[in-house]
Structure 1
Amino acid sequence: MKGTILLVCLLAGLQAFCQNAPTERQLIENTIELYFDGWATGDSAKLGRAMHASCFLKNYREGKFTSFSKSQYLGLFKPHDRPKNLRTNIVALDITNNMGSAKVEIINERETFTDYFNLMKTTEGWVIADKVSTRTPHKTNGTQAQKETVLDGLKRPWSIAFLSEDEVLISEKEGDLIKYNLQKKEKIRIKGFPTDLEDGLDGFGDNTGKFEVLTDPDFKTNKYIYLSYAAKAAAGRTTKIVRAVLENESLQQIKVLFVAEPYTDQRVHYGGGMLFGADGKLYFTIGERIFTEKDEPGIPIAQNVEDKRGKIYRINPDGTIPKDNPDFGNKATPGLYATGIRAAQGLTRDLHTGKIWFSEHGTHQGDEINVLKAGANYGWPMKTTGKYRYAEFAPKEIPGNSYTEPVWSWLQTVAPTGVHVYWGTEFAAWNRNLLVGGLSKGSVWRLVIEGETVKSAEELFTDDRVRIRKVIQSPSGKLYLLSDEVNGKLIRVKNGGV
């Protein structure tokens, strides 16, 4: 029996090790990052660790190659500060057995250089065997972002999902769920939306209506789509998450996955953002559903793990709860993944790292960008980078709580909504930048990120402001926006500098 228990423990430990062990791709990326960290700061020790003893490096400039041995190359470097606005991007990586090759772009504000690496796996790990560098700069595709309206007449559109390169689903907050063919210019209303939809309210600050529309990762096979919306009942309204089969332009086999009870008469902060993670789980946001802090109970809504509001959730696509979700205690709401949320709406996944980023509406200022982490408490309303609407609000400290700081916050009111990590070639200098739509300022923000740090921020379309609800790319990488207007638009963003 003891032997069996020992074997089980060893197997469990081995499984945990394998799950946490980095992949070969990650190990190669680590070597390349070590190289460029040394290159950017003149740290010859880091450069040396990344390179094999036999490594040769070649620079190409003005039609000529210049070769350096490892020792000659390292002798060229002296410590210096890291240049500002310098980024590296692994464009391509291929691995065959113990050999690898990588294409890497080095990008500054004006130009892009390209390095080609050959790597090999030794007993000491992955190291660079040789490198060819195109030291003659070529112009980066210009960042002359230009808007082109593809479709107008939308009723406060909230979300868009691509069925293919040419077909999209669009949820209108105050209208219909529609399917639109970008080539044929055909618009079809999807029938069968749940009858408890609340979208008939008017007045200042009303957030009710349809929210996110999201396709299943295996949509071509199972035809599943996911919807979030404001649902009504006798007691008021709340956020509901459902799954349906899209068949013959109709929603069928509707299954309720989550209801953010209690129903209340409040008309704000529903949340409703949804996303599939790299793990195949469904993540979604639920707002705290009150407008001012004076309405907070003794234990604030977003801090109470028994209250469904003011949280981010992670569930299986069928509504069941993953066994590896963080543990918030026996009384916690099932599916709970993160707390301390005020009014998060935008969610996006970095296709390179798998990290999930989300936007959060502040009060007066205090709008935030965060990286989603299991079990994290993002602080609301105990902490804010802005100002409380109710000036006298002074929350009592909750013993034992610790809070996750935002990655970025604005000193102005932006009202960030849809967020998207850009990938593609049309705007090469934007690769892996975070694009954030803003309702208040009516623009798009481009945040340059390294790891989990925002290095710089640029506001786009300042001469053509319109409330931006969503930023998204098509399967082939075309960039689109949704404008939150009574006459809402689907907008294609093109690069006029190409």
Structure 2
Amino acid sequence: MRSPAYVPAYVVALSLLLSTPAFAQSMESSAGPLQAQVLAEGLDHPWALAFLPDGRLLVTERSGQLLVLTEGVAGAPVVGTPEVYDQGQGGLLDVALAPDFAESGRIYLSFAETAAHAGQQRGQGTAVMAARLVLEGDSGRLEDQQVIFRMNKFTTTNRHFGSRVVVGLDGNLFVTVGDRGDQNRAQDFGDHAGSVVRIAPDGAVPADNPRPDGWAPELWSKGHRNPQGATLRADGQLFTVEHGARGGDEVNNPQPGGNYGWPVISYGQDYSGLSIGEGTEKPGLEQPLTYWDPSISPSGLDFYDGALLPGWQGDLLTGGLSGHVLVRLDMEGDAIVGEERLFEGQLGRIRDVKTGPDGAIYVITDADNGRLIRIAPQGE
């Protein structure tokens, strides 16, 4: 039985994080006045964040570091991270915890890998490593590292790697993979590019993957351009956001065996101003739940499930890179019925967004001096 003085560990950790905010900014919202507080600065193009069971955070930096943030301060980089290709849009990308992390310490890292490390002839591609994180003070080390997924065709372009990792309710992993800057690869069903793949925790192919004729066995869905946000709803449904070209950013609910159309259909235009593909719809190709034109370059995605903003329960949150915005998407069932833009033009390029265990919204910004920011009702 807990004594009246019991305070959960994550509340203690988060209260320490909030003890000396470096910056605060406020705005009115549909949920009332919100305040954004900077908790950490000086991060090198942070790409993803994940909460540890004790309330501390893991943050990846695109240049290859995995950091543990304690009281708003990063310790020495975790030892044992993979060697990454950190040019263009490549680098160390997503981090996700296994459901049994508290016992196993198992985490998953997605990253851009060079051909030399992958046993391929040239280029680079998206890969996923599984490892055991051993925490040591304000840092730690990785043990039992194993690359459990590599996209099957590496190329020399330095863009459109994806890549988010989401653990399904059954423990299998969804991994988003960009088209690698070659749009036609998204309609090549033997190619992992432009897809969501689904693998077991050890990299094996789950027996219940969709496997339409001609599809690589790891594929869950195809026809995606560059999905840089993915999250799981409480019922196990996967949702993604992906970059369009000039316009045409999409939110999707990828279904097994679904083809989401890129580049045959799109709500955007080529950067040259010319049209893309055959229009905005075609029989047999799936429609997005919503799209943006002009683009916001969405990155990071999470469902809000905290107690601080009860009117937003079940809504989607995504960051905007070119849009410099946090977006709330009002969900009713499977439909998006509205949009609210928060702190537009005020916080920078938002790369990832997560609901924290305290009910606040946490975002990181993609910059040389990247920041971790907490957003909550004013006074909370």
Asked if Structure 1 and Structure 2 have the same fold, meaning a TM-score greater than 0.5 normalized by the shorter chain, the answer is yes
Q: CA deviation at 1:487?
A: 0.3
1:304 to 164, 184, 188: 188
User: Partner letter of residue 124 of structure 2?
Assistant: R
Deviation of the 1:474 alpha carbon: 2.3
1:189 to 66, 69, 77: 77
Structure 2: distance between partners of 1:173 and 1:462: 24
Aligned partner of 1:269 among 131, 148, 160: 160
Match 1:152 to one of 35, 41, 61: 41
What letter matches 1:161 in structure 2? A
Aligned pairs for 1:310-459 (under 5 A) are: 310-329=194-213, 331-351=214-234, 353-389=235-271, 395=277, 402-459=284-341
Indicate the residue corresponding to 1:179 in structure 2: 68
What is the CA distance between 1:357 and its match in structure 2?
1.1
Is 211-220 or 382-391 further displaced after alignment?
Answer: 382-391
Structure of greater relative contact order (alpha carbons < 8 Å, 6+ residues apart): 2
CA deviation digits over 1:73-107, x for unaligned, max 9? xxxxxxxxxxxxxxxxxxxxxxxxxxxxxxxxxxx
The match for 1:242 is 129
Kindly state the Cα deviation for residue 420 of structure 1 after the two structures are TM-superposed. Answer: 1.0
Q: Judging changes above 3 Å, is the alpha-carbon distance between structure 1 residues 355 and 495 closer, same or farther for their aligned structure 2 residues?
A: same
Deviation at 1:393, TM superposition (A): 6.6
Contact 1:141 1:428 in 2 (8 A): no
| 1:483 alignment counterpart | 365
1:466 aligned onto 2:355: no
Q: 1:334 corresponds to which letter in structure 2?
A: P
The alpha carbon displacement at 1:401 in A equals 6.7
Q: Extract unaligned runs of 5+ from structure 1.
A: 1-139
1:260 match:
151
Cα distance in 2 for partners of 1:165, 1:484 equals 25
Q: Displacement of 1:321 after TM fit?
A: 1.1
1: distance between equivalents of 2:200 and 2:193?
A: 19
1:436, CA displacement in angstroms?
Answer: 1.1
**TM alignment of 1:2-401, pairs within 5 A:** 142-182=31-71, 185=73, 187-195=75-83, 197-199=84-86, 201=87, 206-234=88-116, 235-247=122-134, 248=136, 249-290=140-181, 300-329=184-213, 331-351=214-234, 353-389=235-271, 395=277
Give 1:335 deviation, angstroms: 1.4
Question: Contact 1:207 / 1:267 at 8 angstroms: preserved in 2?
Answer: yes
Kept in 2: contact 1:143–1:427 (CA 8 A): no
- Tell me if the contact between 1:210 and 1:229 (Cα under 8 Å) persists in the aligned partners: yes
Kept after mapping to 1: 8 A contact 2:211/2:217 = no
Q: Please state how far the C-alpha of 1:251 moved relative to its aligned partner.
A: 1.4
Q: What one-letter code is carried by the residue in structure 2 that aligns with 1:179?
A: V
Runs ≥4 residues deviating over 4 A: 390-397
For 1:454-493, what per-residue CA distance to the aligned partner results, in whole angstroms no more than 9, with x for missing partners?
1111111025141001110223433211111110011111
**In the alignment, is the contact (CA less than 8 A) between 1:143 and 1:497 conserved in 2?**
no
Q: Distance in 2 between matches of 1:405 and 1:226?
A: 30
Given that 1:366 and 1:411 are in contact with CA atoms closer than 8 Å, whether structure 2 keeps it comes out as yes
Structure 2 residue identity aligned to 1:192: G
| Match in the other structure for 2:19 | none
Contact 2:268 2:276 in 1 (8 A): no
SS in 2 for 1:425: coil
Q: Give the aligned length.
A: 341
Task: Indicate how the Cα distance of structure 1 residues 193 and 431 shifts in structure 2: closer, same or farther if over 3 A, else same.
Answer: same
Structure number, greater radius of gyration: 1
Structure 2: how far apart are the matches of 1:159 and 1:266?
22
AA matched with 1:149: V
Query: Does the aligned pair in 1 maintain the 2:101–2:107 contact within 8 Å?
Result: yes
Any idea what the Cα deviations from partners look like across 1:166-208, whole Å, max 9, x if unmatched?
A: 311110012511111137x45231011123x112x3xxxx201
- 8 A contact 2:51–2:57 mirrored in 1: yes
Q: Distance in 2 between matches of 1:447 and 1:396?
A: 28
Per-residue CA shift, 1:224-271, capped at 9, x if unaligned?
110111111251111111101112511111111111132211010000
Q: Secondary structure at the match of 1:429?
A: helix
1:453 Cα deviation after fit: 1.3
* Higher helix proportion (structure 1 or 2): 1
**Alignment partners' CA distance in 2, 1:357 and 1:463:** 26
Segments of 5+ residues of structure 2 without an aligned counterpart are 1-28, 117-121
- Say if 1:455 and 1:141 are closer, same or farther in 2 by CA, change over 3 A: closer
Report the 3-state secondary structure (helix = DSSP H, G, I; strand = E; otherwise coil) of the residue aligned with 1:188.
Answer: coil
Instruction: Report SS of the residue matched to 2:103.
Output: helix
Q: TM-score, normalised by structure 2?
A: 0.85
Report the Cα distance in structure 1 between the residues aligned to 2:330 and 2:31, rounded to whole angstroms.
Answer: 16
1:342 to partner: Cα distance: 0.6
Q: TM-score with structure 1 length normalisation? A: 0.65
Q: Are the equivalent residues in 1 in contact too, given 2:62–2:91 (CA < 8 A)? A: yes
